[in-house]
């Protein structure tokens, strides 16, 4: 549909939502209909954590993605757009899909998760996942109440609780990868990194499960990036915009450790002075690492392999006989009390 029509619709909605305000600049007709200019106009929300979004920002964000996805805005219930960022972040994927339709709703959910990741430091991500990611409709062992709990008390999760990070990350995994089979699950028979699957969760065209017959065995090594256009391209552009340079795994681990008040029980120091630490929620840490690297198929197994490579470079030292325990080596920095001051 024409962007001007969308703008008109959103403009009217905006006037209804904010009657006391002058006609907002945010959705008035653009200088042109070029998406990039639209996006640049919207940098106010793009650089801000979604939880901090105002109603304006939410409206802008929805408007951008309605236009970007060429969604027919006439099908949009504008009342659905009347919410602030915190409210938006409490919505499950199902809720968004029911409000915006399966296609747009699912897309918004994916983008929202990415926005959250891209605009947060990882320590804020934990609580956020509890809201964005929660899927009350997905029952699992002993977790039915957990999902309800998360929905009602999204900021009160503690990793020590019965519904800690493990179930949380499981729910994230299932929700983040959408309604299709999570390719990284053990059931996927090691086809997790098949190029056809690896970007599935980002690719609208892959929302329809592929029927490829018998699972084909992929080769070793990282699967190539999907170079397709559209949604994938959008994600890639987001990635290049936000992915910080020089974020190494050991630094990511170190940063979790040196902020104990924020690490949600993911890891703990065994011996701070010697740099010995332990993974408490190994899969959750791997998930966070994967989110940081835009890789939802990250597992502790892969993360630990990367950790082991640090032995050679003496960034980490071996701790024999202790599971999930590692030690910073002489080539690691920034974790010592003298360096951090706490």
Partner DNA sequence: TAAGGCTTTCCTGGTT
Partner DNA sequence: TAACCAGGAAAGCCTT
Site of interaction with DNA (CB under 7 A): 190-194, 198, 217-225, 239-240, 243, 245-246, 248-250, 282-283, 289-290, 293, 295, 297-298, 300-306, 308-309, 311, 313, 318, 320-325
Q: How far is CA 309 from the centre of its chain?
A: 26
Q: How far is the CB of 274 from DNA (least distance, A)?
A: 16
Output 28 or 233, the one with its CB closest to DNA: 233
Output 31 or 222, the one with its CB closest to DNA: 222
Q: Are 29 and 7 in contact (CB under 8 A)?
A: yes
SS3 341: coil
Give me the helices (H) in the chain, please: 3-17, 35-41, 43-46, 55-68, 85-89, 93-100, 102-119, 122-132, 144-152, 165-176, 195-198, 231-242, 249-257, 282-292, 300-312, 337-340
Q: How far is the CB of 230 from DNA (least distance, A)?
A: 17
Contacts of 156 (CB under 8 A, 6+ apart): 149
Output 67 or 232, the one with its CB closest to DNA: 232
Output 76 or 303, the one with its CB closest to DNA: 303
Output 90 or 287, the one with its CB closest to DNA: 287
Q: How far is the CB of 301 from DNA (least distance, A)?
A: 6
The per-type count for the chain, helices as H runs and strands as E runs, is 16, 4
Burial state string for 234-255 with b = 16 or more CB within 10 A and e = fewer than 16: bbbebeeeeeeeeeebbebbbb
Q: How far is the CB of 265 from DNA (least distance, A)?
A: 14
Q: How far is the CB of 125 from DNA (least distance, A)?
A: 16
d(CA 318, CA 281): 19
Output 23 or 190, the one with its CB closest to DNA: 190
Q: How far is the CB of 279 from DNA (least distance, A)?
A: 7
């Amino acid at each position: 549909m024409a962007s001007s029509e969308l703008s008109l619709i959103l403009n009217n909605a905006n006037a209804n939502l904010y009657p006391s305000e002058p006609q907002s600049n945010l959705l008035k007709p653009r200088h042109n209909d070029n998406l990039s200019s639209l996006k640049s106009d919207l940098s106010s929300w793009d650089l801000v954590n979604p939880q901090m979004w105002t109603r304006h920002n939410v409206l802008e964000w929805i408007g951008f993605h309605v236009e970007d996805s060429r969604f027919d805005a006439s099908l949009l219930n504008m009342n659905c757009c009347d919410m602030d960022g915190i409210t938006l972040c409490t919505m499950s994927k199902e809720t968004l899909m029911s409000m915006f339709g399966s296609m747009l709703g699912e897309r918004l959910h994916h983008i929202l998760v990415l926005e959250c990741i891209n605009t947060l430091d990882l320590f804020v991500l934990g609580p956020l996942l509890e809201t964005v990611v929660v899927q009350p409709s997905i029952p699992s062992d002993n977790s039915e109440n957990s999902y309800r709990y998360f929905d009602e008390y999204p900021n009160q999760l503690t990793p020590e609780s019965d519904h800690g990070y493990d179930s949380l990350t499981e729910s994230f995994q299932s929700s983040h990868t959408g309604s299709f089979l999570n390719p990284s699950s053990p059931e996927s028979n090691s086809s997790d990194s098949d190029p056809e699957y690896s970007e599935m969760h980002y690719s609208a065209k892959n929302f329809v499960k592929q029927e490829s017959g018998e699972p084909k065995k992929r080769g070793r090594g990282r699967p190539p990036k999907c170079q397709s256009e559209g949604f994938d391209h959008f994600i890639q552009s987001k990635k290049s915009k936000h992915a910080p340079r020089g974020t190494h795994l050991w630094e990511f681990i170190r940063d979790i450790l040196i902020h104990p008040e924020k690490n949600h029980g993911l890891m703990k120091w065994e011996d701070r002075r010697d740099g010995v630490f332990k993974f408490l929620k190994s899969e959750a840490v791997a998930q966070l690492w994967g989110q940081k690297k835009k890789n939802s198929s990250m597992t502790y197994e892969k993360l630990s392999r990367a950790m082991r490579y640090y032995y050679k470079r003496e960034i980490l030292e071996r701790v024999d006989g202790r599971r999930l325990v590692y030690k910073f080596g002489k080539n690691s920095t920034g974790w010592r009390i003298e360096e951090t001051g706490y």
